[in-house]
């Protein structure tokens, strides 16, 4: 079992080590035997593309999930965490990408939530307040312990979350994309805090898509790709090139954009589209975006998380409010139409989160596939079971869903096949434009290739595709044109032969020097 003991075994400064961690979900192997070490008082950064297994690994280290096989060692002793509470008792805290604070409670109550300081059953609020104030001062956060968390800015909430982790004397702190919601100034503060923490002997695991930013704080880099560790190195041995090279690797060939067909007329035209942040109307999440997609053309919208891709696609599809600009479908302004009207006129959206927005979990594969096109199997106002089954079976074949038949529950399919069901549902409406929001998220590389094949085929038949992604390689495998979105605006536009580094630079991910 413990074959990885050859790695400079219990090196004095290794606090936490993962040995041969394997994690499978159904048939998918998310982690394929990862070895990973965290050093005392250092920042270890995990690099990897979406789906490389970073989050899964962190969930295992923090007790959210259990490994299928493999071992975790804390200070050289094997440990296992059945729950996050157990991990916390061992001094491991995780700060998730999505904050887990209760907005209706005060900063103090959040920090001591579940571990209130009590005397004889009564909470000692004074003591809690005092300690919270001290913690916040450490964090250079100028808010009152009794302020409601919901009233704080996201960046401040992030720091409260860190304060909470520290209040339990965390020895190991895992931060998953901590800067994605932070302003530049807040990032500086966070990095200052990280320096102070490491000086105190706290070990950090840091995950970020902002490679450059991560390089500023990291002492140690580990790169994951497709569930395996591909490289590791100390800060002085590595640079951006090294990271990107190991992240991307010799690629599984996803093919190249479909060629040999002419683009038709313009189908979708977006003019000066502006969408405001519903929580902060001052901020435009999509800021004056204009673009056009022609028949048969696949346009990639590339950008980091939070660049406004989702908001843009949803605004085009008819969800969420448009603050300004026009959306033209074959020359006609449809900005005032409902999502339902737009869908029937030929704009279909494959949403980012298929569990939340794409699938009805209580329904079968067939019912999900045909949900948006019930009209097609109505006879005299009633659904025809035969026609429905024919339609569903045809769609299953069309989008190559691996399912025994349309009658099985949607939950029994793998992520990739579920995604194909969502795509099939939109295709069933015979759209003119298909919007896909990170459709490859959480699906394996084989399914990804199949999805790409499907899109290429449809594009040849004249479908206009607007494809949003944060994975650079996808752009080059599928796009006729790459539009880079950065902080809500288009920062650059490239053809299919652009240099990868240039595209990444335009998104703000890597700064070419």
Partner 1 sequence: MNSTAAGTAPRKLDISKLLIESRAFLALALIIVIFSLLSPNFLTVNNLLIMSSHVAIFALLSLGQLLVVLTGGIDLSVGSILGFTAVIAGFLLRGVPISMFGVTLYPNVPAAVLIAIVLGGALGLINGVLVAKFKVAPFVATLGMLYVVRGFALLMTNGRTLNDLSGDEALGNTGFEWLGFNRVLGIPAGVLIMAVIALVIAVVLGRTTFGRWLYATGGNERAAQLSGVPVRSVTIWVYVVSGLCSAVAGIILASTLTSASPTAGNTYELTAIAGVVIGGAALSGGRGTVRGTLLGAFVIGFLSDGLVLIGVSAYWQTVFVGAVIVVAVLLNTLQYGRPGKASRAGRKTGGAGTPGEPGGPGEAGGPSGPRAPSDPGGSSESAEPAAPAGPAGSAGPRSPSSD
Residue 76: CB minimum distance to partner 1, A: 29
Helices (H), 150-296: 154-167, 184-199, 211-217, 240-248
**Cβ 370 to partner 1, closest distance in Å?**
8
Minimum distance of partner 1 from residue 53's CB (angstroms): 7
Q: Residue 340 Cβ, how far from partner 1 at the closest point, in Å?
A: 5
Provide the minimum distance between the beta carbon of 421 and partner 1 in the complex, in angstroms, as a whole number: 11
Element (H, E) at 206: strand 203-207
CA distance 495 to 491: 14
**Helical pair 154-167 and 125-138, crossing angle rounded to 10 deg:** 110
Residue placing its CB nearer to partner 1 in the complex, 155 or 442: 442
The whole-angstrom separation of Cα 258 and Cα 181 is 36
Nearer to partner 1, 205 or 343 (CB): 343
Nearest residue (CB) to partner 1, 52 versus 152: 52
Minimum distance from residue 482 beta carbon to partner 1 (Å): 26
d(CA 259, CA 256): 8
**Between residues 48 and 145, which has the closer beta carbon with respect to partner 1?**
48
Query: Beta strands 172-176 and 489-494: pairing type?
Result: unpaired
Nearer to partner 1, 328 or 339 (CB): 339
Q: Which is nearer to partner 1, 53 or 488 (CB)?
A: 53
Q: Of 167 and 400, which CB lies nearer to partner 1 in the complex structure?
A: 400
The three-point CA angle 378-400-425 to 5° equals: 40
At 40, list the tokens: 């005392």
**Nearest-approach distance from CB 442 to partner 1, in angstroms:** 5
Closer CB to partner 1, 121 or 381, in the complex: 381
In contact, 510 and 501? CB cutoff 8 Å: yes
Q: How far is Cα 136 from Cα 109, in angstroms, rounded to an integer?
A: 13
Min dist. Cβ of residue 339 to partner 1 (A): 7
In the complex, least distance from residue 391 CB atom to partner 1, rounded to whole angstroms: 13
* Cα 50 to chain centroid, rounded: 7
Please, which residue, 176 or 474, has the CB nearer to partner 1?
Answer: 176
CA distance 56 to 432: 37
Residue numbers at the binding site for partner 1 (CB under 8 A): 25-27, 30, 51, 53, 55-56, 59, 317, 319, 339-340, 343-344, 349, 351, 354-364, 367, 371-372, 374-375, 378, 381-383, 385, 407-415, 418, 425, 429, 442
Please tell me the distance from the alpha carbon of residue 351 to that of residue 53, in angstroms, as a whole number: 22
Structure-block tokens of residue 176:
């998953």
- Half-sphere exposure of 269 toward its Cβ, with a 13 Å CA cutoff? 10
CB hemisphere CA count around 231 (13 angstroms): 19
CB-nearer residue toward partner 1: 68 or 180 = 68
Give the H or E element holding residue 291. Answer: strand 280-294
Rounded distance, CA 165 to CA 337, Å?
Answer: 46
- Whole-angstrom Cα distance, residue 93 to residue 173? 5
Given the structure tokens 């580094």, which residue do they identify? Answer: 501
The residue count for the chain: 513
Tally of CA atoms within 13 A in the half-sphere of 277 that contains its CB = 14
Q: How far is the CB of 313 from partner 1 (least distance, A)?
A: 11
């Amino acid at each position: 079992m413990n074959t990885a003991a050859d790695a400079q075994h219990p090196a004095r400064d290794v606090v936490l080590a993962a040995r041969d961690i394997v994690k499978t979900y159904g048939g998918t192997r998310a982690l394929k035997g990862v070895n990973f070490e965290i050093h005392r008082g250092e920042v270890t950064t995990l690099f990897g593309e979406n789906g490389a297994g970073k989050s899964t690994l962190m969930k295992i280290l923090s007790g959210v999930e259990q490994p299928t096989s493999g071992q975790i060692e804390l200070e050289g002793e094997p440990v296992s965490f059945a729950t996050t509470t157990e991990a916390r008792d061992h001094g491991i805290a995780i700060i998730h990408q999505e904050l887990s604070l209760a907005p209706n409670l005060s900063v103090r109550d959040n920090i001591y939530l579940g571990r209130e300081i009590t005397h004889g059953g009564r909470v000692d609020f004074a003591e809690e307040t005092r300690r919270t104030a001290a913690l916040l001062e450490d964090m250079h956060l100028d808010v009152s312990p009794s302020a409601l968390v919901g009233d704080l800015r996201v960046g401040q909430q992030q720091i409260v979350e860190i304060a909470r982790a520290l209040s339990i004397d965390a020895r190991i702190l895992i931060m998953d994309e901590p800067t994605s919601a932070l302003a530049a100034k807040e990032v500086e503060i966070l990095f200052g805090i990280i320096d102070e923490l490491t000086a105190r002997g706290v070990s950090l695991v840091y995950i970020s898509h902002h490679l450059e930013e991560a390089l500023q704080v990291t002492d140690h880099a580990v790169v994951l790709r497709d569930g395996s560790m591909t490289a590791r190195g100390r800060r002085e041995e590595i640079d951006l090139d090294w990271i990107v090279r190991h992240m991307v690797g010799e690629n599984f060939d996803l093919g190249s954009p479909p060629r040999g067909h002419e683009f038709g007329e313009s189908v979708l035209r977006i003019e000066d589209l502006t969408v405001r942040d519903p929580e902060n109307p001052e901020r435009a999440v999509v800021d004056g975006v204009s673009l056009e997609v022609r028949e048969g053309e696949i346009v990639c919208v590339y950008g980091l998380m939070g660049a406004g891709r989702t908001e843009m696609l949803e605004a085009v599809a008819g969800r969420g409010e448009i603050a300004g600009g026009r959306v033209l479908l074959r020359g006609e302004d449809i900005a005032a139409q409902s999502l339902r009207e737009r869908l029937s006129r030929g704009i279909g959206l494959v949403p980012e989160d298929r569990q939340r927005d794409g699938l009805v979990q209580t329904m079968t594969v067939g019912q999900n596939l045909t949900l948006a096109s019930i009209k097609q199997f109505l006879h005299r106002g009633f659904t025809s079971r035969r026609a429905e089954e024919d339609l569903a079976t045809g769609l299953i074949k069309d989008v190559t869903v691996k399912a025994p038949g349309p009658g099985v529950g949607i939950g029994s399919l793998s992520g990739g096949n579920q995604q194909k069901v969502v795509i099939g549902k939109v295709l069933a409406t015979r759209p003119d434009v298909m919007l896909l929001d990170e459709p490859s998220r959480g699906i394996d590389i084989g399914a990804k290739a199949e999805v790409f094949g499907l899109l290429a085929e449809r594009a040849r038949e004249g479908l206009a595709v607007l494809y949003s992604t944060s994975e650079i390689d996808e752009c080059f495998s599928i796009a006729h044109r790459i539009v880079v979105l950065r902080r809500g605006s288009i920062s650059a536009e490239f053809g299919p032969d652009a240099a990868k580094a240039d595209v990444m630079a335009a998104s703000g991910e890597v700064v070419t020097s």
